[in-house]
A and B are shown apart, each in its own frame.
Chain A
Amino acid sequence: RKEVEQDPGPFNVPEGATVAFNCTYSNSASQSFFWYRQDCRKEPKLLMSVYSSGNEDGRFTAQLNRASQYISLLIRDSKLSDSATYLCVVSPYNQGGKLIFGQGTELSVKP
């Protein structure tokens, strides 16, 4: 079983749609959680950190359920520019900031 698993995708949605990405992780000692965005043939960039209380940044909402070891990302009112691969990332406790990535879910927003 992979340490971080995501929906396989791809997701093809029209502009303005709401899309949700799901992610589960296997290591209960995981400390920090993130969503990264990666454009085609580019490096990953931090989209947002994920906190136990849930957090929102504009059209993006991230949620964490430690009991279920589940992370989600909701994108409202999708834009063409949201097209990218979204990577769920977990950082285990006391492992020096090592990042464990899911395989990524590709999102394509169409006009």
Chain B
Amino acid sequence: ETGVTQSPTHLIKTRGQQVTLRCSSQSGHNTVSWYQQALGQGPQFIFQYYREEENGRGNFPPRFSGLQFPNYSSELNVNALELDDSALYLCASSLVQQGMGEAFFGQGTRLTVV
């Protein structure tokens, strides 16, 4: 196991609602990234947090937001949910900011929007 845990594992929400997904990073890791994986696709980068600040963002609208806490755990918030937001959301933690460290993924949160 990677030591990266995500909660909840599954979630069903209604279109227009808001959702918060949580991630506890591996001990000693200071960087957390979030990815969205639609069925049959590779994961897509949402954003990354390093030392509690956003450090890079992918092509996702502002209704996708996040936080990183002093203990390096993280939250992903999605407002005004749309049907297309249904996907597996993956959190990855790593130690080094500049991409030289291996990223360890959590098991993911499977979000279904109905």
Binding site for B on A (CB under 8 A): 4, 31-32, 42-46, 87, 91, 94-104
Q: Find out whether the CB atom of B99 lies under 8 angstroms from the CB atom of A96.
A: yes
Closest A-chain residue to B44, C-beta based?
A101
Q: How far is the CB of B45 from chain A (nearest CB, A)?
A: 5
Task: Please report B residues at the A interface, Cβ cutoff 8 Å.
Answer: 2, 31, 33, 35, 40-45, 48, 50, 55-56, 58, 90, 92, 94, 96-103, 105-108
Residues of B within 8 A of A44 (CB): 43, 90, 105
> Dominant SS at the B interface?
loop
B92 and A46 contacting across the interface, CB-CB below 8 Å:
no
Complex A-B, nearest 10 residue pairs according to Cβ-Cβ distance, in ascending order:
A101-B42, A97-B99, A43-B105, A91-B99, A96-B56, A96-B55, A103-B42, A101-B43, A104-B42, A98-B45
